[in-house]
Structure 1
């Protein structure tokens, strides 16, 4: 009997030891993976890192609550380095990994155009917080968690029509984004009855945008790039004494690197964006879910501070966090993460209030596969006072 007990005890010890070496017990389930493909290095690294931070905050929240389907959730990151080939490579890797149940990215419209077919063929649910143009309504598994340029322009054009603007022009990089925006503005000009004075195409090596502003000096309004090139346009507008309106054509102007480059010239500039309450000082007025997410990001990763401007921003982007939050709610409704067709259908059917989401925007994708609607887009104006930079919601007056 004693020999038998010793054998049983030895087997038990070996089993425990083996389990300890493997890092999991036999009852543990494999991790569910979420893939992120984005620019983690290079000029746009701030975007990729912000996405990673916000995704990790939401994943931590899910894991602390017990995970998904009894599994912990793990974030897997691939750096696209703004290289289309690396974006496609990451998409293929994620598409072929059965443990990856959600993919976020790659950022930028052109990169997504090159990879969305991979996701569709693999029936891989994916969410895009960095793609501003293109149509998601024909996709089975792709969803957008960013403000589409079309909605931004609707909000902007109606605002400026009501303000009595009679003419406008565009100063933007001579790239696909600039050309697409030019085409959209030509169409919008006819719809809103405002004269379009044309597209001034900038170059990366331009030292000044003075020549472009001078060509549009008679315009009531100039749309400018939300990239650093837009700051050059602002500086040139001040130099030539342009007294019309300046507006960002997209939500990129919320990035404080823009304020760093433009300096005081950014005062009064208007940009469209989904809920962006961070530069508003009264946190009690923030949406509850948004405040919870942003403060978790600050606690874990801190905030960005412009060395010249002193302007601040969180080291996260809540629109990326919406991808994980919406997916997790859809998984609950679908009864699990494995049947991706059911999960995609459940995402379509979501109707989440602005108070609960990480971004502070309502989420109701429907057949368009757009997380946000026109009602979620705000117009913000950059202002500066003795306490520093802040934004004012133009329509709300606050």
Structure 2
């Protein structure tokens, strides 16, 4: 019996031989994500969606005649572990696709080794940074720049004049602050500044109180944003709360803020899960989410009853797109697959996320037309989101 060392909650889905049932070497998909700690829900959700999509691709014949298998490493929000896993995967010839490391700063430290080793990589957990300069890196998340455009356009439309930002004092927070400084005046808005949070903050009330006169507060789409929402309730803040990215669809925000989450707005690619009539969902998205529910279930907030699937379909788009590009390229040669990914154009109805994929030279799977605005609401049946821009 072969042995394998498995990181916390991480799965090694291939056999120890590294070959499928027909004896052909399996194609490995590597995942580097937080599988433990405060961000564990992100890594586990990515892993679940990747496994569901890998199983779908394998049932359809695999990639280049070989089955896919998933190998996951827990980076535990430790940059050293993230870089170590990146180097490990970059040096493994059987790994043809890498997802992660999640979070901009960690990916920035790893992307050079991916380029050097010609490893196709796809990022559903990196919101800032430029992918157009990369040959092998692609993003399957809503870019922060597009999210900011959506949010500032909404504030302008609502005749809001002043706003501030509460965010972690990290690379993403600093880049978000820089974008807001550069863009605010173009929308007729006065930016009241950046309140920088710390990971060891027990409460964000002091930051909210410093922005008490702002008509709107923009908050982090990471775990700190949930603390800000809770603090807004404690401080009886009466202005608008808006997320700066799709992470605010996570029910932890509702759990932290309770009824104060009602009315909070966030930008995101397709997020049809709270729409109770599933016949309105994009077909590929519905198939993926229902497969997630069947295998892994859903997250349910113990305080609010708000629910979400235990998966993130944007991660599944990475495998979907890779399989499609490899078919076009006639194999797994990284240069040919990267070129095929640039030319890939898939309608929203077919993808696991329900978002159209058309990366082009920017290496961005989603464009501004695929970013929408959603608002948390509550009725007698529980929590749901309402799409504020024109729904399908």
Q: 1:291 aligns with which of 261, 272, 286?
A: 286
Are 1:368 and 2:362 counterparts?
yes
Q: Residues 122 and 199 (structure 1 numbering): CA distance in 2 closer, same or farther, change over 3 Å?
A: same
**How far off its partner does 1:26 sit?**
10
Shift in Å, 1:246: 1.1
Deviations 1:9-66 (A, max 9, x none): xxxxxxxxxxxxx897996311111111111122211111111111111110111112
Alignment of 1:81 with 2:40, yes or no, is: no
Tell me how far apart the structure 2 counterparts of residues 241 and 318 of structure 1 sit (CA, whole Å): 35
Q: 1:264 to 1:397 in 2, by over 3 A?
A: farther
Shift of 1:343: 0.3
Distance 1:108 1:232, change over 3 A: closer
Give the structure with the higher percent helix.
1
CA distance in 2, matches of 1:331, 1:31: 15
Q: Work out the CA distance in 2 between the residues paired with 1:283 and 1:241.
A: 36
* Alignment correspondent of 2:165: 170
Matching of residue 314 in structure 1 with residue 309 in structure 2: yes
Is the aligned partner of 1:127 residue 2:127? no
Q: Are residues 1:60 and 2:55 paired?
A: yes
8 Å CA contact retained: 1:41, 1:81: yes
What is the CA-CA distance between 1:88 and the residue it aligns to? 1.1
Structure-2 separation of matches of 1:208 and 1:124: 41
> Which residue in the other structure is 1:323 paired with?
318
Give 1:252's aligned residue: 247
- Alignment pair present for 1:348 and 2:342: yes
Larger radius of gyration: 1
Query: In the alignment, is the contact (CA less than 8 A) between 2:226 and 2:252 conserved in 1?
Result: no
Distance 1:112 1:354, change over 3 A: same
Partner of residue 141, structure 2: 146
**1:218 corresponds to which residue?**
213
TM-align CA RMSD: 1.8
Question: What is the distance in 1 between the residues matched to 2:384 and 2:115?
Answer: 41
What CA deviation, in whole Å up to 9, does each residue of 1:153-203 have, x standing for no partner?
001111111111111111222222222211111011122221111112223
- Of residues 67-76 and 227-236 in structure 1, the stretch that sits farther from structure 2 once superposed is 227-236
**Equivalent residues of 2:216, 2:240 under 8 A apart:** yes
Aligned residues: 376
Alpha-carbon separation, structure 1, partners of 2:172 and 2:247: 13
Show the 5 A alignment for 1:326-341: 326-337=321-332, 339-341=333-335
Displacement of 1:229 after TM fit? 3.1
Change (3 A) 1:26 1:145: closer
User: Which residue of 1 is the match for residue 86 of structure 2?
Assistant: 91
For residue 33 of structure 1, give the secondary structure of its aligned residue in structure 2: strand
SS in 2 for 1:169: strand
Q: Deviations over 1:301-348 (max 9, x none)?
A: 1111111111111111000000000000000100111x1100000000
Any stretches of 5+ residues in structure 2 without a counterpart? 1-16
Distance 1:103 1:75 in 2: 10
Q: Counterpart in 1 of 2:259?
A: 264
Looking at structure 2, the residues matched to 228 and 80 of structure 1 have their Cα atoms a distance apart, in angstroms, of 16
**Aligned in 2, Cα 1:333/1:210: closer, same or farther, shift over 3 Å?**
same
Q: TM-score, normalising length from structure 2? A: 0.92
State which drifts further: 323-332 or 65-74: 65-74
Contact 2:220 2:244 in 1 (8 A): yes
2:41 to 46, 49, 60: 46
Query: Which residue does the alignment assign to 2:8?
Result: none
The worse-fitting range, judged by mean Cα deviation, of 171-180 and 86-95 is 171-180
Q: 1:388 aligns with which of 367, 382, 386?
A: 382
